[in-house]
Structure 1
């Protein structure tokens, strides 16, 4: 049974961290989002919560393909929560290392770092667990939360603000820290991805923290094109580290114009303001006709789902045609039944396309064309195969295709 929190339907628990429990949820328009419900010991700290409330509007300015945008927040309710874009994938800490597409990872992380720093947001807890790998692309999550909730009472209540080995030396020593601390965390995270080892080793947190402050990182095995940049990012002196813009320049990441926008659905509200409280930052809603440097997240997902649907349509058509061709000689009724069932499914799918609404209207015409092309193609392929191949050969092909399909499904 789903639980409702504000305008969001909570579907399932995704995980938990030092600051809250993350749920997969649906927004009022039926889109998937990630809802982080803050822990009671966090919400009990009124000072930290007020600071987070002030930071949320700034966090909502961070946009780009490599960050999980903050979409909504409600912090003055019984169960305060934050809403971000849902990223389907695995954290960098759970994927095989060294990472094969290291240049792609480095470029994506650099772009995310620049997006945060351009908006004036410091992540403060950048680490492999906070980098989601979605179809080979890195997406940074939980930015700004650790920085906003960095208070003695919250820390004492059990939430560790940051992870030794990825926290900059100045943070561990209690000194003033800023964006240079994120650069250090960027270097440590990328070093882990490049070598497959913790850059400052393992062991008790105190021992790791000591090595961060007093020793160099273990970068053995890092590729030559990356090692010099990692050395600079992991410098003990914050002033010696490059900026996010300099890192992007070194890695050849092209700067793109970022639309500082709020992706908040119309049915949901932005940060709930208390009576008499105003925000200087204007929330701008994107409308059709306005240019954006990339498609909206939901449109990208719809295109991906349509691509997957087409693959299944073509793959199932090939398999049905193969089975029908094998059965056409000894069992013509079975062959006719298989082709008729596939044609019926294709016609139903085309009918659904005609009645589709929302983003699916973008693919209405092409979807109908694909359905009828697949239906006719299956019939034509069946006739062609049965003409040129024997029943035994076709049956052998069909059995092989079935085994390969089952193995593929199990591996997926």
Structure 2
């Protein structure tokens, strides 16, 4: 019976696998902004480092489809897990350059794991089941992101960096072992090709020529930009304005804990329409981000604002990828998935570059205003989603 279940992974299997690899990243997510501020010495330097890391990860994301066609995606997923092992171990050096290298390995791990895992999901989950499977996967990941950041900061303060980095590497090894236990087969459409595969820029052109795919990219880009900002700049604001590090930990864990509500968002999307839910979530989160930037409140109030704003972002987590999953053609899943998931690297690259420029002349609150404008603008674009998505 177990082998029959393993031979045909379903929503629960992907949820467990996603939660395991997410816990590896979540444990060190909370201490990254604290280590970054200590080693790089300013919010502007942190933004510059993230910009460089985003450029490298973006280039890598276009190379992954070529690698998948050459060596199969199971090796790409495995490489991503190994990168997640290397990243926290490099952080143990306690110096600026190894720390930046650790962030780069972590970004590359996300590229490899995300692309290959999305392809497996497209192979094994039926199109009509996306609206329930994706929220369930996010709810499982919510356990990791609820416990991980706060636990990581607590261990960092009470025991030390070693107590965070070693378990982080351990969960990456566990995810790799579970993946190989599953023995998932690959769709022949994305198996190694006998003809020369298309170049990345051809995939970009093909993606850009499809209006639904363009719109499907913008929505998760805005959502990912929120989470990228959330994990770096609110904690920096709290520390700079005299707040306690554990307040930042509570905000991060609490915000991620809302992922438990992802299945509720899925049911609401099925009942009221994905389009309506996405537009409302973007407006809600964007408005609160602008409020935080304009008022620049006390650390506790800012933590509360961003905690509430996570309600909208979690709704986008649950529903934001569905426009792409329902629009991409089966025969070009590998190529279009590689282009689509560049929203992750671009959400690190573009906002970080903009924030670095803003922080030259403006306080850190300007970052929150810029984020809010992006979210509200994306809400306007999301109104063009088909009503019967």
Normalised TM-score (structure 2): 0.25
More helix by share: 2
Higher relative contact order (CA 8 A, sep 6+): 2
Report the structure number with the largest CA radius of gyration: 1
